[in-house]
Amino acid sequence: MHEYAFFLGCIAPNRYPGCEAAAIKTSEKVGIKLLPLKGASCCPAPGAFGSIDLNVWYAMAARNVCLAEEMKKDITLICNGCYKSIYEVNHILKHNDDLKDRVNEVLAEIDMEFKGSQDVWHLAELYYDPKICGVQKIRDSVTTPLTGAKVAVHYGCHLMKPQKERHFGDTENPMWLEELVDALGCESVQYRNKMQCCGAGGGVRGYDITHSLDITNEKMINLQEVGADALTEVCPFCQLQFDRGQIEIQETFGVSYGLPILHYNELLGLAQGMSPQDLALDLHGIDCTPFLKKVL
């Protein structure tokens, strides 16, 4: 069993608790144990805090990493926004002693110290990593194959970009999440401009909601073109933008798509035999029933 400190963030536990429940249960079936990271806070939101003052962003994210350092565990998480904050700050501070000293000056006020002794991983990359889990193990864990559905994939921005601060390689047309989706028995589909942003990041959702929804709408049009039955992603903030966003798009632009949006962990949960109630799919803004009828 590989053990990790599970960093929750805000939107997964406080808006889509099904993602959290699914992550804990699904990962255990493939040999990953998630331990609660007690006292963690918001990552903090890279768009909002990074825009206000990057120094606060470094210090707040470093505090969350310190909690895992005390547990002597690597961090894993299920949100791209959290990944941007926690992974990137950990990465930057490990390679920049000046900045590390400055952050530690702040953390000294609360008797903490960033050491740089742990790493940060997205749960999806652990699923894909053959050293930890790998696609075959995911495939073996499936009890209810999700056959007969076309599922499109949204990678989100902050998981893989900026490329040179990450280790994923190509960011123009990656295919590894599709492999993970295909392993569940459904068919992954390609669509135009797959790597485009969901529109929520950088504080734009709060600053100019119409502008933000217009970006989302472009993605929805591209998804509709290929007849996707559902969209899967690995970021609850993207999920919020696509899921609640579709309702807001209906109100703002008068178009409705009714495309179910599922976090990869929720999809994996369904494939491993969890019921829609176990995943709190009823909390989703867009009804998942048409998709569920197709696959279950």
Partner 1 sequence: MAVKKYDNPDLEKKLHDTRYHSIDTNPEFTKKVLDISRTIANMCYQCGTCTGSCPSAPRSSYRIRLFMRRAVLGLEDEALTDPDLWLCTTCYSCTDRCPRDIAPTDVIMAMRNLAFKRDIIPRNFLKTAQLIYSTGHGVPNNDVNRAARVKLGLTADPPTTHSYPEFIPGIQKILNYFELKQNADRMLEGE
Distance, in Å, from the CA atom of 92 to the CA atom of 281, rounded to the nearest integer, reads 37
207 binds partner 1 (CB under 8 A): yes
Phi, psi of 222 (to 5 degrees): -65, -35
Between 167 and 196, how does the x/- string for binding to partner 1 read (CB under 8 A)? ----xx----------------------xx
Instruction: Please report, to the nearest 10 degrees, the dihedral formed by the alpha carbons of residues 294, 142, 169, 7 taken in order.
Output: 100
63 binds partner 1 (CB under 8 A): yes
The separation between the first and the last C-alpha atoms of the chain, rounded to the nearest angstrom, is 30
Distance, in Å, from the CA atom of 113 to the CA atom of 103, rounded to the nearest integer, reads 9
52 binds partner 1 (CB under 8 A): yes
Distance, in Å, from the CA atom of 119 to the CA atom of 72, rounded to the nearest integer, reads 10
Site for partner 1 in 126-165 (CB under 8 A): 157-158, 161-164
Among 2, 3, 41, 116, binds partner 1 (CB under 8 A): 41
Among 2, 28, 48, 174, binds partner 1 (CB under 8 A): 48
111 burial class (0-12, 13-18, 19+ CB within 10 angstroms)? exposed
Our CB check for partner 1 shows the closer of 130 and 169 to be 169
Distance, in Å, from the CA atom of 174 to the CA atom of 33, rounded to the nearest integer, reads 27
Site for partner 1 in 87-116 (CB under 8 A): 106-107, 109-110, 112
Our CB check for partner 1 shows the closer of 140 and 282 to be 282
- DSSP secondary structure code for residue 27 in this structure: H
Instruction: Please report, to the nearest 10 degrees, the dihedral formed by the alpha carbons of residues 237, 181, 218, 225 taken in order.
Output: -150
Our CB check for partner 1 shows the closer of 63 and 186 to be 63
For residues 184 and 142, is the Cβ–Cβ distance under 8 A? yes
Among 32, 40, 149, 152, binds partner 1 (CB under 8 A): 40
Among 38, 130, 169, 254, binds partner 1 (CB under 8 A): 38
Q: Give the rounded distance of the alpha carbon of 225 from its chain centre.
A: 25
Q: Which stretch binds partner 1 (CB under 8 A): 69-77, 142-150, 210-218, 288-296?
A: 210-218
> By rule CB under 8 A, what count of residues binds partner 1?
68
Distance, in Å, from the CA atom of 179 to the CA atom of 274, rounded to the nearest integer, reads 21
**How near is the Cβ of 240 to partner 1 at its closest, in Å?**
9
Our CB check for partner 1 shows the closer of 36 and 145 to be 36
221 binds partner 1 (CB under 8 A): no
Among 283, 287, 289, 296, binds partner 1 (CB under 8 A): 283
Distance, in Å, from the CA atom of 153 to the CA atom of 223, rounded to the nearest integer, reads 10
285 binds partner 1 (CB under 8 A): no
Kind and range of the H or E run holding 236: helix 236-253
Binding site for partner 1 (CB under 8 A): 8, 10-11, 13-15, 17-18, 20-21, 36-42, 44-56, 59-60, 63, 106-107, 109-110, 112, 157-158, 161-164, 171-172, 195-197, 199-204, 206-208, 211-212, 214-215, 218, 277-280, 283
